[in-house]
Structure 1
Amino acid sequence: MEKTLTYDFCEMTIHTNYVIVVMKEGVDITPEHNHVLVDVTNQYFKNTPFVYITHRINSYSVNPKIYFETAKIKNLRGFAVVSKDYKAKVNAEIEKMFFSKPFEIFGDLDEAKQWAEALVKQ
């Protein structure tokens, strides 16, 4: 399964065991954006474990409070950040402190996909 959903703040590609999200340039991600994630996961991953992969191609900001709500998604097994940018990786290390489930940072999208597949199968 692969389906792409486009929103004013991001593009989501739904796969069998994970969703890959690319945020748009300059967006300020707030807890309100989390409602879209919850709706998407309820529609495409209902009662099915999955991993959220954010592919940080563009520059944007994230309110760390969003992770408290994101972690409440019962079937969410983990969260991956993919970026080659040093600053984005440092920011992700800070964000990691706000998330209570597995949270990994990768420089390569394929590595994140492999991690997601393994995490879902556990």
Structure 2
Amino acid sequence: MIKALFYEFGELNVFKNFVIAIMNEGTTVLPKHNDVLRDIADRYFENRPFGYITYRKNSYSVDPLVYIQTSQIENLIGFAVVSKEESKLANLEIEKYFLKKPLASFSSLDDAKDWINSLIESQKG
């Protein structure tokens, strides 16, 4: 891990090729929170692709407009959702309509990391 960042809405862990987000219980993720992701994209992934992994350990909600802004982060190449609980993946079909980036769900964090890394590798070659 490169850096652990803590905010009022949750924790973002920055790695070489991706960010893993763990939102706090009861949080509502709003479009204004995209400023944080844009800052991370600029600071840690300048001029290179990266992925975003949301590790849905806790119950929280997301304003779908967040995904419209997230889609505008040019070097973001994929968005992974990790949860072992089906209920935490329930909104994924709705989220897919708003996010204009590859989106996949996984029950394992390792599988999500592998997917992001494969997306990055496919861009290199």
Question: TM-score normalized by structure 2?
Answer: 0.94
Offset at 1:93?
2.3
Segments of 5+ residues of structure 1 without an aligned counterpart are none
Q: State the secondary structure of the residue aligned to 2:90.
A: helix
CA distance in 2, matches of 1:36, 1:101: 18
CA distance in 2, matches of 1:51, 1:70: 11
Displacement over 6 Å in runs of 4+: none
Identity of aligned residues (%): 49
Q: State the secondary structure of the residue aligned to 1:97.
A: helix
Offset at 1:74?
0.5
2:63 alignment partner AA: N
Q: Aligned pair count?
A: 122
Offset at 1:10?
1.1
Segments of 5+ residues of structure 2 without an aligned counterpart are none
CA distance in 2, matches of 1:119, 1:47: 16
Offset at 1:101?
1.1
Q: State the secondary structure of the residue aligned to 2:37.
A: helix
- 2:23 maps to 1:26: no
After superposition, the CA RMSD in angstroms is: 0.9
Question: TM-score normalized by structure 1?
Answer: 0.96
